[in-house]
Structure 1
Amino acid sequence: MSPSSVGTLITVAPTGAESRKADVPQLPTTLDELVDTAVRCEAAGATLIHLHIRNAEHRPTLDHGLLRASVTALREQTDLVVQLSTGGSVHDPLDLRLTVLDAEPDSCSLTCGTTNFGAEVFLNPWPFMVELYRQSIAREVVPEFELFDLGHVASLRRLLDQEGLPYGGKVHVDLVTGVPGGMPGTPAALLAAVAMLPAEVTSWSATGIGRTHLPIAATALAAGGHLRVGMEDNLVFARGRAVGHNDELVARAAELATLMQRPPLTTGEARELLAVKRR
């Protein structure tokens, strides 16, 4: 793998399950808002969108109809790789989280272990991980392995040893830093995780939560990684200035990547990087 020789995959995570619409009115929670966000973020340089869905009351939901409608609308209006979160909110039951794949996304998240998540617990026991992985292979959905801690890196190694390579044969991971309860959002922590990645990993992205956003982005670009940005992870653009729209974060990531001589990938290049199936 020679990640530094390719451009940059920019993922946008526009909504998440934690922030309340009442507190953050600019958070995209309706289908129209998500489509507008996706179109604007694709124009700014994003090639993959990581989706959490909200219901009519703007609360997190795994409603199958809303998931499928969102996937369909984004495919009609953009060429983005559509990735659905299988994490939902920390309160969603495991069996319901498995049904996310019924919406036939291009990609899905697959978190490689349980972690403390602020005051909550994000539950991802081993049998759930294995079942989700097997379903992703059977349904030809590309998983993105979410790693919140070094133990999750070891669990990915165990999963690949036991179950083999994912659909498409590529292994893409996202190193999530800065979550209270996970690895800190520091260059040292990120590089330690990168050094532990299994040899089968073909590409990796990094996420820095909150104020760790920029140092993690800079470190990832310097180390040959890719970027995830968005209002799921960061609501502050700069000191004293809130994020007004997700495309601001995407545009800044694209500018950083271009300055580092690794400009944003096209959607076609992103699909090739991840071995995503054309649907």
Structure 2
Amino acid sequence: MTSKTILTCAVTGNLMTPELNPHLPVTPTQIAEQALDAAKAGASIVHLHVRDPKTAKGSMDLEFYREMVGRIRDKNEDIILNLTTGEGGRFVPSLDDPKVAAPGSTLCAPEKRVAHIEELRPEICTLDFNTMWSGQASVINAPWNLEKMAGLIYGANVKPEIEIFDSGDLHMAKDFLARGIIKKPLMVQIVLGVRFGAVANSQTMVYLVSQLPTGTQWAAFGIGKTAFPMLAQAFLLGGHVRIGMEDTAYIRKGEHCTSNAQLVEKGISIIDSLGGAIATPNEARSILGIPASRVA
């Protein structure tokens, strides 16, 4: 393999909890600090959510995003920022009347889901193509809402990372590509091991990779105990990789990780042991077709 491997660090997510790992970053300051440390450890990209500091639950608050991004950019202009647009897609049906949203629902207009992208203009943001059951909620990404989000993302000069949770998601992404709603070359993240999504094993990854459009830059990752095995498998198949406290609470069986940087260091050591090398942020920009200097 001649091309370098892009390593994304997924810093906090929205489903991991401090109860599962007491070292999980929650406040904008904590998330920014762990992102900066992950960059120092060698991550090419940091994938970022924000949380409500009072509840530790995922948030869409623009002020939290402004603070987190500002703290990162004050100290590091090189690391590539990848902000989520996944918040705002959850619907919990009421037990008494399933068409009525129960507490925990976040489903909202697509414009709200990308408001922070339009203002802050990171290099990358996620665009989730999944509609599925997740935990105690359904995740709903209606095609017409994804079309609106894609238009706004491209309008902000941001590259969408297409998130694929199962084979049907990939079929829809290919339809979007055929209709010109998303553009080649694609950047695709294959998500494995989410309950009721694609299974985290080699056979599933090989199949999904075999169906990607030509020229796609892709990565894949696994949840929980599959995080490091799927990191190695993605590299061996020629893809990019992801690791972070969004995806796993443990550095090894029975031992909590203490930081995202610790996970990044282990991920890099695996890639190194397999004969690979991690891309710097500028090398990752070149691979993904992101300009080295961007005009807002």
TM-score > 0.5, shorter chain as reference: yes
Matched, 1:160 2:177: yes
4+ aligned runs moved over 3 Å, structure 1: none
Report the counterpart of residue 189 of structure 1 in structure 2.
204
Report the counterpart of residue 239 of structure 1 in structure 2.
253
Matched, 1:170 2:185: yes
Question: Equivalent of 1:64, from 51, 62, 86?
Answer: 62
Superposed, 1:95-106 pairs within 5 Å as: 95=109, 96-102=112-118, 103-106=120-123
Name the CA distance, whole Å, in 2 between partners of 1:20 and 1:221.
Answer: 28
Name the CA distance, whole Å, in 1 between partners of 2:124 and 2:187.
Answer: 11
Q: CA deviation at 1:22?
A: 4.8
Superposed, 1:123-162 pairs within 5 Å as: 123-162=140-179
Asked if the contact 2:147–2:181 (Cα under 8 Å) also holds between the matched residues in 1, the reply is no
Superposed, 1:192-231 pairs within 5 Å as: 192-201=207-216, 203-231=217-245
Name the CA distance, whole Å, in 1 between partners of 2:249 and 2:161.
Answer: 23
Report the counterpart of residue 113 of structure 1 in structure 2.
130
Percent identity of equivalent pairs? 27
The amino acid across from 1:73 in the alignment is R
What whole-Å deviation, never above 9, does each CA across 1:148-167 have from its counterpart, x for those lacking one? Answer: 0011111110011112554x
Asked if the contact 2:150–2:181 (Cα under 8 Å) also holds between the matched residues in 1, the reply is no
Asked if the contact 1:44–1:250 (Cα under 8 Å) also holds between the matched residues in 2, the reply is yes
Q: CA deviation at 1:262?
A: 1.8
Asked if the contact 2:151–2:181 (Cα under 8 Å) also holds between the matched residues in 1, the reply is no
Name the CA distance, whole Å, in 2 between partners of 1:127 and 1:194.
Answer: 26
Asked if the contact 1:113–1:155 (Cα under 8 Å) also holds between the matched residues in 2, the reply is no
Name the CA distance, whole Å, in 2 between partners of 1:195 and 1:74.
Answer: 36
Asked if the contact 1:112–1:129 (Cα under 8 Å) also holds between the matched residues in 2, the reply is yes
Give me the TM-score of the superposition, normalised by structure 2.
0.87
Matched, 1:179 2:194: yes
Q: CA deviation at 1:13?
A: 0.6
How well do the aligned residues superpose, as a CA RMSD in angstroms? 1.6
What whole-Å deviation, never above 9, does each CA across 1:43-75 have from its counterpart, x for those lacking one? Answer: 211011111101231222111122122222222
**Larger Rg belongs to:** 2
Asked if the contact 1:113–1:126 (Cα under 8 Å) also holds between the matched residues in 2, the reply is no
The number of residue pairs the alignment matches comes to 273
Asked if the contact 1:12–1:228 (Cα under 8 Å) also holds between the matched residues in 2, the reply is yes
